[in-house]
Structure 1
Amino acid sequence: MTVTFNHTIIASKDRHESAGFFRQLLELPEAPSWGPFTNVQLSDGVLLQFAEPPVDIQMQHYAFLVDDELFDRAYRRLRDQGVEHWADPRMQRPGEINDEHGGRGVYFKDPAGHAIELITRPYL
Structure 2
Amino acid sequence: MSVELNHTIIHARDNRESAEFLARILGLEVGTEWGPFVPVATSNGVTLDFAAVPAESIVMQHYAFLVSDAEFDAAFERIQQGGVTYYADPHLKQPGEINHHHGGRGLYFLDPAGHGMEIITRPYGSHERTPAASSTAS
Shorter chain as normaliser: what TM range?
Answer: over 0.9
What is the alpha-carbon distance in structure 2 between the residues aligned to residue 116 and residue 29 of structure 1? 17
Deviation at 1:81, TM superposition (A): 1.2
Deviates more, 1:69-78 or 1:53-62: 53-62
Percent of matched pairs sharing the same residue:
55
| Alignment match, 2:19 | 19
Mapped pair 1:63 → 2:43: no
SS at match of 2:102: helix
What is the alpha-carbon distance in structure 2 between the residues aligned to residue 30 and residue 118 of structure 1? 18
Paired residues, what number? 124
What is the alpha-carbon distance in structure 2 between the residues aligned to residue 89 and residue 123 of structure 1? 14
Deviation at 1:93, TM superposition (A): 1.1
Deviation at 1:29, TM superposition (A): 2.2
SS at match of 1:63: strand
SS at match of 2:9: strand
What is the alpha-carbon distance in structure 2 between the residues aligned to residue 66 and residue 97 of structure 1? 14
Q: Is there any run of 5+ residues in structure 1 with no aligned partner, and where? A: none
What is the alpha-carbon distance in structure 2 between the residues aligned to residue 29 and residue 93 of structure 1? 30
| Alignment match, 1:118 | 119
| Alignment match, 2:128 | none
Q: Is there any run of 5+ residues in structure 2 with no aligned partner, and where? A: 126-138
State the AA in 2 paired with 1:39.
P
What is the alpha-carbon distance in structure 1 between the residues aligned to residue 45 and residue 31 of structure 2? 11
Deviation at 1:33, TM superposition (A): 2.7
What is the alpha-carbon distance in structure 1 between the residues aligned to residue 26 and residue 93 of structure 2? 25
Deviation at 1:89, TM superposition (A): 0.9
Deviation at 1:77, TM superposition (A): 1.0
| Alignment match, 2:82 | 81
| Alignment match, 1:34 | 34
TM-score, normalised to structure 1, is 0.95
Larger radius of gyration: 2
